[in-house]
Structure 1
Amino acid sequence: MSRTSSPVDSDDEMRLAMKQVTPTVVRTGTKRPHTNLSGQDDDDSDDAAAPRNLSLSNQNLVMAAKRFGERKRLRGEQIAELESFVNDPAPLREVKLMANGMALANQLEQIVAAKPPFELSEDLQLNIKKYAPAILLSERLGSYKGDVPTEALMEIIKRLRFSIPDGLEHIPADWVKVVSFAEYSLTQKRSTMKKAIRASLKPVQDKDTKVVTYAEDTKKHDNIYKLASAIVKGTKCTVNVILCSRVALMRKVYLKHPGSKFWDRLDAKLDEIR
């Protein structure tokens, strides 16, 4: 019973072609003399057959390369280049591989350059705004200004990713947009907190001098719990004893330094307490 041979994989075919045995001349039993009339040894005739065998081997490899290229659906000029590559010496093949790799890298750079500039999605902005208050209301926060809150927020963004493309942090021009929005969100929340503290003191502005004064009777001030509730309003944070103690410290510092140095003075007070 005849057996049907299974199709050979395209990659295996290339390897088989390289190992294929080329036809050789069948020698008769007659022994030739060691030296012919011209004085040359029989070894010279064997050396003459070697290039012919090598040529046949290259032809087999070229044919296999052509079939391989056709199966990979290469274009005609690409198949011709592949056939030429087979006959190239090893150093030249290495140079061609290096050149093709560099050309591919150039094409990838053009693709990246052609991409539209990165813009923060609405979902990403919403998530950053959601986590900014959580950072500023954390009991572990060491300072309210500077790099500390920004780095804490960026760590959350890097971990949760949201809609940020992979590897964006390695593109400075794009990553700075995320950092800038994080800083902006923290600034906005600090402003909201400061306004809530000011409102809790029931400020009164003189119509003539425009000087702002606060109710001397502290009973007219909002209590700390009410102020803390106003600060966490619109966030997923909750009021607890530790937060109330922080808010009380904020208002105490604000009464002495209500101007632009408020957050700096508050950070200094926190550092002093620690």
Structure 2
Amino acid sequence: MPPRSDADSEFDAMLSAAALAASPLPPSSSPGPNSPDGGNINSRKRQRVDGADGPGPDSDNEEEDDELPIQLTANKNVLGFAKQYATHKCLRPSQVAEVEAFAVDPIVTRQIKLFATLLGVGNCVDTIRTAAPDFKLSSSTDKNLHQLAIGILVSPLLRAYKGSLPTKHLLNIVKKKRFDLPAGIELISSDWAVVKTRAEYHLTQGRAVFKKLLKASVADNPKNHPNIFALGQRFVKDTDSTLTTPLCAQITLMRKYFLLHPGDLFWDKLDDRLAWMRENSGGDTNKQTKMFKVVLDDDRNKHGNKADYSMLDDAVVDEWQSEVDTVVGTAA
């Protein structure tokens, strides 16, 4: 159907007014089915001609004899309006004929036709939905998911590396940024599952990359190990993230627990230790900082040349990572 315009609205109003003026007389102006003659105009005319029921055709009531021509004129006007309006809406000739027939149908017939048409429209909608192709994530959005997954994993505010928490953080950012995702996609379970699956995939891949970096960082003689600053640079390489002292402290804890639990339980044990530190610090940031300082000092004594060791000054987190940290720092 063509888009509506102000001219359409004005024309609709004009035609509707014409139709109202052409409407048949209200039922009260004509005899009902319970009247003595059953509402039959010809019957009343015969009675008057026979003189059995009041004045004849020359009386003052002869205007009742004009009711039939008035109703015929009204029906003609309604048909004319129906045809004119249907044509204005650019309907096909066969559809115009259907509108004309609908205009003179009894009310029950109209209701049946309307209900049947609604069912047909519903069938068409179902067909369209069935024929729609499966949703696919664009390459640009998939790349954004990868970057965000790394940004979440290197956030010093992350409370757990495994489980549903990192995924929740990532999907919350997606809902806010949208990228090129269709509006309301999170309300379509099958399509949103595609986004969620890719988010989980990139988080899993990110953890795998970090674990390889940790393994490589302890593979040689301890004196040849990269210090935590050099190792941290490898973590944020090719990302939009910033290496900061809190992140270095987090990575030292990773290296410590990789040495203790290098197998499949590594991330679970690390998450347990993070939870223990939060619990024993009572949520006090200063106490947690002191705990991480102990871990940093231990890492400095065990990895790399201690004399060569240098720690970065507090770096300014860029806007991108700051937005990620804000989401990560919010309770999920």
Cα distance in 2 for partners of 1:172, 1:43 equals 75
1:92-113 deviation line (CA, Å, top 9, x unaligned): 4334333323322321222232
Residue 196 of structure 1 is matched in structure 2 by 213
Give per-residue Cα distances to partners, 1:125-181, cap 9 Å, x unaligned.
111111110111122222111111111111111221212122322322222111111
Question: Cα deviations across residues 224-252 of structure 1 (Å, max 9, x unaligned)?
Answer: 11111111111110111110111111111
Correspondences of 1:108-123 after superposition (within 5 Å): 108-123=125-140
Distance in 1, Cα, partners of 2:162 & 2:85: 64
Q: Which runs of 5+ in 2 are unaligned?
A: 1-7, 26-47, 279-332
Structure 2 match to 1:9: 11
Given that 2:24 and 2:75 are in contact with CA atoms closer than 8 Å, whether structure 1 keeps it comes out as: no
Amino acid at match of 1:197: L
Q: Structure 1 residues 22 and 262 mapped into 2: Cα distance closer, same or farther (>3 Å)?
A: closer
Q: What code does the residue aligned with 1:115 have?
A: A
Residue by residue, what CA displacement relative to the aligned partner does 1:156-211 show, whole Å, maximum 9, x if unpaired? Answer: 112212121223223222221111111110111100111111111125xxxxxxxx
Question: Does residue 124 of the first structure (1) align with residue 128 of the second (2)?
Answer: no
1:227 is aligned to 2:231: yes
Per the alignment, in what secondary structure is the counterpart of residue 204 of structure 2?
A: helix
**TM superposition score normalised by structure 2:** 0.67
Cα RMSD between the aligned structures?
Answer: 2.6
TM-score by length of 1: 0.80
- Which structure carries more relative contact order (alpha carbon 8 Å, separation 6+)? 2
- Which residue of 2 is the match for residue 256 of structure 1? 260
Alignment of 1:1-274 (within 5 A): 9-20=11-22, 37-40=51-54, 49-203=66-220, 215=221, 217=222, 219-274=223-278
TM-superposed CA distance for 1:91, in Å, is 4.0
User: Cα distance, 1:17 vs. partner?
Assistant: 2.4
- CA 1:167/1:22 → structure 2, altered by over 3 Å: closer, same or farther? closer
2-side partners of 1:49 and 1:141: how far apart? Answer: 88
Given residue 235 of structure 2, which amino acid in structure 1 is its aligned partner? I
Name the structure with the higher helix share.
Answer: 2
Identity of aligned residues (%): 36
Please say which of residues 57-66 and 8-17 is displaced more in the overlay: 8-17
Q: 1:43 and 1:179 mapped to 2: Cα distance?
A: 84
